[in-house]
Amino acid sequence: MTYVGLPRRDASTPSQPAARQALLGAFAKLALSRRYRDFGVEAIIRSANVARSTFYYHFSGKDDLLLQNLQPFIATLADMAFAVGPSDELQHWVEHIWQQRSTACRLLDGPTGRKIEAALVERLNQDFEGKCHTARSHQNLLAHQIAGASLSLLKAWVAHRVTAAPSDIAHSLWLGAASIGAGAVERQ
């Protein structure tokens, strides 16, 4: 299965219906070859060779498909807050983002970037809920801080406003998120 051009690395992913896989793959192909705003549901279903009703059975719209496609990336970023070091998965994603930097630059910016950030905040809030006993409002503050800082660094990097090797970016992402996550756990 491909997620915006990134093959899943773990073989333990539960199999998904063929139509859903076709839609995810078609979306990834289109997202890597066109601007996000330049294609719609019609292009996705044509590329996936499925019916419109099949698309809407699996996804509520193009943005839902984008966020489902990016769930492994979002999960990897959220996991940084409680990790003991930058994971191999994080390193893999950062390298992929650099290889696809023109696409990443477009996806991380503007309305699409805000949707990705909101999904990351939601995931972080869920993770904080299970691991921290601080006030919900404080958890939300920390989730926004991690998401905003992480995506801001990635945007600056792919836009060439900062220069660093992928391993340095992965380490910086982890260091920022982990220090905030550790601070939340220590406050308990």
Query: Using one digit for the tens of pLDDT, what is the confidence trace for 134-170?
Result: 677 789 999 999 999 999 999 999 999 999 999 999 9
Say if CB 59 and CB 68 are below 8 A apart. yes
Q: How much is the pLDDT for 133?
A: 66
The Cα 137–Cα 17 span in angstroms is 38
What CATH number should be reported for the domain whose range is 2-68?
1.10.10.60
Helical pair 88-99 and 166-186, crossing angle rounded to 10 deg: 130
The closest of 186, 58, 68 to 132, measured between CA atoms, is 186
- Farthest CA pair distance, the chain: 52
83 has a pLDDT exceeding 80: yes
* pTM, entire model: 0.83
The Cα 78–Cα 150 span in angstroms is 10
Could you give the 3-state DSSP secondary structure of residue 106? helix
Q: How much is the pLDDT for 35?
A: 85
Percent of the chain that is helix, strand, coil (3-state, to 5): 75, 0, 25
3 bridge partner residues: 6
The Cα 63–Cα 36 span in angstroms is 10
Q: Span 38-46, mean pLDDT?
A: 96
